[in-house]
Amino acid sequence: MVNKLLLLLFTILLLTSCKEYALTETEIDEDGPDYIIRFAHEESTDSVQHDYVEAFKKTLENKTNHTVQVEIYPVGQLGDATEQAEQLQIGAIDMAIISPGNTGTMVPENQLFILHFLFSDDMEVNHHVLNNSKALDTLTEVYNEHGMLILDYWTQGFQQWTANVNISQPEDLRGARIRTIPSPLLLASYEAYGASPTPMAYEEVYSGLQLNMIDGQENPFFAIEEMNFFEVQDYLIDSRHAIYATTTAINPDFYDELPEDIQKAIEETVAQLSEESLNIQEERNETALESIKSQSHITFATLDDEERAAFREASEPVFEIYKEEVGETGAEILEELQEEIADVENDR
């Protein structure tokens, strides 16, 4: 705990000094930027998030005639994903990609994104809901109370399973050691199938699979390919049991201090990237799946409607656990979101 506090204080001092230096340089150099946005994300430089932030940087800088400069900090440069969220809250950084899995203790209500079989298996439906949801407007208000202003909800693709056995029904997961992030709700989701969820750091998953410390894991196709998990697993299941949801967030105080024209440019950039992010994740995941199939022995399978229904039924008790743990506001957000997803599916 002491080490984390020291790291956070060092980061604040470093970024503050960098910002002061940048502002001094701006005053000397009339052609320099008027505003610098320090933008952190949770993944490596070869990832969907980095593609997104690079596109944000290019679009916003062009839109503002380079009066705004965006500095990008991938995960690791300023600490892990949770530490980045903490830095955003206190203004040590200005913007960040913040995912529910890393902020559940800060905003418990956002853990609804971890629930299995909540969202549609049609990504177009999910994209529409993420961009037009009154339930998520309420969730945004909750985030704001915790020092994070959410500008957009978006997804990096569906969560998929890899394992040493084929997974086509909940019974197939009984006793299986499935790697998870350290989220009580995610642990409950796998316990509902009879699995043995095993929290483990992302960078340790490959060796964990290789050494048979764990039997399977969940991630979008792009991550499975990027981290070479397919090399040490026998089955890849197109399960679409959840979406890998994330958010584009900004520090509220920083945002409020910006001129209206810069605020508008940021909002327009985020709106533009909302559509582009759907294409970015789709292309990344399709390319990754093709790559896996072309170079791997792994057996590919897909859950059919009947199989999905069995998993959905097994997952239902976890929805009640979520409601009990997060309270009335979270329960109302979840129930409204379920209705919105069902309405969009029916309309299609």
* Nearest 10 degrees: Cα torsion 227, 95, 141, 327: 40
Pair of tokens at residue 163: 């394992």
If you count DSSP H runs as helices and E runs as strands, how many of each does the chain have, helices first? 12, 9
pLDDT at 184: 87
Q: Are 167 and 161 in contact (CB under 8 A)?
A: yes
Q: Are 76 and 45 in contact (CB under 8 A)?
A: no
Q: Which fold has domain 2-336?
A: D-Maltodextrin-Binding Protein; domain 2 (3.40.190)
Q: Please, what's the largest Cα pairwise distance for the chain?
A: 67
Give which of 183, 284, 166 is closest to 224, Cα–Cα.
284
Residue 137 CA to residue 307 CA, distance in Å, equals 33
Residue 160 CA to residue 141 CA, distance in Å, equals 30
Q: Please list the ranges in the chain whose pLDDT falls under 50.
A: 1-2, 5-7, 9-10, 12-14, 16-29
Q: What is the DSSP letter of 8?
A: H
Residue 16 to residues 8, 92, 251, Cα–Cα distance (Å) = 12, 7, 15
Q: What is the DSSP letter of 298?
A: P
Q: Are 220 and 244 in contact (CB under 8 A)?
A: yes
pLDDT at 201: 86
Which residue carries 């995941």 as its tokens?
285
Indicate the pTM of the whole model. 0.86
Write the DSSP string, 100-118.
GGGTTTT-GGGGGGGSTT-
SS3 36: strand
Q: What is the DSSP letter of 184?
A: H
pLDDT at 318: 97
Residue 142 CA to residue 330 CA, distance in Å, equals 10
Pair of tokens at residue 287: 């390319």
Strands 95-98 and 35-40: parallel
Give which of 126, 168, 167 is closest to 345, Cα–Cα.
126
Tens-digit pLDDT profile for residues 2-37? 455 444 544 544 454 444 434 333 343 467 789 999
Which residues touch 331 (CB under 8 Å, ≥6 apart)? 322, 323
Tens-digit pLDDT profile for residues 233-257? 999 999 999 999 999 999 999 999 9
